[in-house]
A = this chain, B = another copy of it.
Amino acid sequence: MRTALVIGTGLVGTSAALALAGRGVVVHLADHDPEQARTAAALGAGTDEAPDGHVDLAIVAAPPAHVAGVLADAMRRGVARGYLDVASVKGGPRRELEALGLDLSSYIGTHPMSGREKSGPLAATGDLFEGRPWVLTPTRDTDTEVLNLALELVSHCRAVPVVMDADAHDRAVALVSHMPHLVSSMVAARLENAEEAAVRLCGQGIRDVTRIAASDPGMWIDILSANPGPVADLLADVSADLDETVRALRALQSSDEAKRHEGTAGIEDVLRRGNAGQVRVPGKHGSAPRVYEVVAVLIDDHPGQLARIFADAGRAGVNIEDVRIEHATGQQAGLVQLMVEPQAAPVLTAALRERGWAIRQ
């Protein structure tokens, strides 16, 4: 790939442009708002001048609702050898393009699984996609040349290509992202009018479950509107589980021992299925979940404490895999949970103890 045209210079388009420009690809930038394209160009993402002739790859990074229209326009003008989009849903845009009667051999739908809270070209960065899955949805009709252009883009962005069917992709993101998001909102919604005394009892569990409920509703309405079917199907499954669990809990209140036994079995079933599903969530390294040992260190909340812990860990040759800082309610003192490979835990514990840290058993 020597030349590319990025249409839509928001966060994703500009980040891809930065990555390509950094690898020596000549990138042309276009946006329905020329000011945005100028900003992206000023950031070093390419030039906002139109290409002279057609480019190797046109990358459409418009919002989901506009993707098919922008793609169709570019394809009719024949601006490139290959075309791709980066929208967060893949089935709908493809069907729209088909309905428009376009030859789709030069098109491939893709979805980089990155995403940040911020948006716009100023939030862009050439390493936005580094190490993240980038879904590609070729069909039997996709030109191999176009698939290879897409793979080259993914490689330049240092992302990890994952090939999937378009509809399977939409069901997958419903499962791992859209459904959990709505469920998190529903748990959080229960707190809206809760008594202050109850809210004070919140711990790390509910904090984690509701973290993503803080996201911007506008952005999520766009995402969910583009994928309502698969999300509704999954929520209906959750709803069936919920109703079953409510029945089990009511049975636990029965005076009949056989009913109570049924209730216990129902609760156990959902908890065990939860165990079985949770264990499949990839750890931060993307492979099978790694099991870490926790070394818990008591600290007070002054600058330098964490630095000293990490420095002491480093001196002991131990790599900290993950960290959780748990502060006590209304207190400055807290607990740092250091996640390390199991064989490193005793080494770290001994090293930190020797340097005077209070380690919780």
Interface of A with B (CB < 8 Å)? Answer: 113, 115, 122-123, 125, 127, 130-133, 135, 160, 162, 164, 168, 171-173, 175-177, 179-192, 194-195, 197-203, 205-215, 217, 220-221, 224-225, 228-229, 231-232, 234-239, 241-243, 245-246, 249-250, 252-253, 263-264, 267-268, 270-282, 284-287, 298, 301-304, 306-311, 313-315, 317-323, 325-334, 358, 360-361
Write the nearest CB–CB distance from A210 to chain B, whole angstroms: 5
- On whether the beta carbons of A113 and B201 are closer than 8 Å, the reply is yes
- On whether the beta carbons of A181 and B205 are closer than 8 Å, the reply is yes
A194–B165 Cα distance when bound, in Å, is 15
A299–B334 Cα distance when bound, in Å, is 26
**Interface SS majority for chain A:** helix
A277–B280 Cα distance when bound, in Å, is 29
Count the copies. 2
Known: A168-B198, A313-B307. A130 touches B270 (CB 8 A): no
A203–B131 Cα distance when bound, in Å, is 12
- In addition to A190-B237, A213-B277, A221-B271, 11 A-B residue pairs with Cβ atoms within 8 Å of each other are A133-B329, A175-B191, A183-B187, A185-B271, A185-B275, A186-B270, A213-B278, A231-B249, A301-B319, A303-B314, A307-B313
- On whether the beta carbons of A330 and B285 are closer than 8 Å, the reply is yes
- On whether the beta carbons of B191 and A277 are closer than 8 Å, the reply is yes
- On whether the beta carbons of B328 and A188 are closer than 8 Å, the reply is no
Q: Which of B186, B198, B213, B237 contacts A238 (CB 8 A)?
A: B186
- On whether the beta carbons of A187 and B191 are closer than 8 Å, the reply is no
Known: A180-B209, A282-B329, A318-B303. A172 touches B197 (CB 8 A): yes
A99–B184 Cα distance when bound, in Å, is 40
- Chain B residues, CB < 8 A from A264: 221, 225
* Chain B residue at minimum C-beta to C-beta distance from A323: B323
A189–B184 Cα distance when bound, in Å, is 15
- On whether the beta carbons of A328 and B286 are closer than 8 Å, the reply is yes
A186–B332 Cα distance when bound, in Å, is 35
- On whether the beta carbons of B277 and A333 are closer than 8 Å, the reply is no
- Chain B residues, CB < 8 A from A302: 319
Known: A209-B184, A246-B239, A323-B323. A192 touches B280 (CB 8 A): yes
- On whether the beta carbons of A177 and B189 are closer than 8 Å, the reply is no
Can you sample 22 A-B contacts with CB below 8 Å? A130-B298, A131-B329, A131-B331, A172-B195, A175-B191, A176-B191, A182-B245, A187-B277, A189-B274, A191-B280, A199-B282, A209-B211, A210-B274, A229-B253, A239-B243, A286-B330, A303-B319, A306-B314, A306-B323, A307-B307, A307-B314, A310-B311
Write the nearest CB–CB distance from A180 to chain B, whole angstroms: 5
- Chain B residues, CB < 8 A from A250: 228, 232
Known: A191-B278, A242-B235. A273 touches B185 (CB 8 A): yes
Q: Which of B127, B208, B272, B285 contacts A209 (CB 8 A)?
A: B208
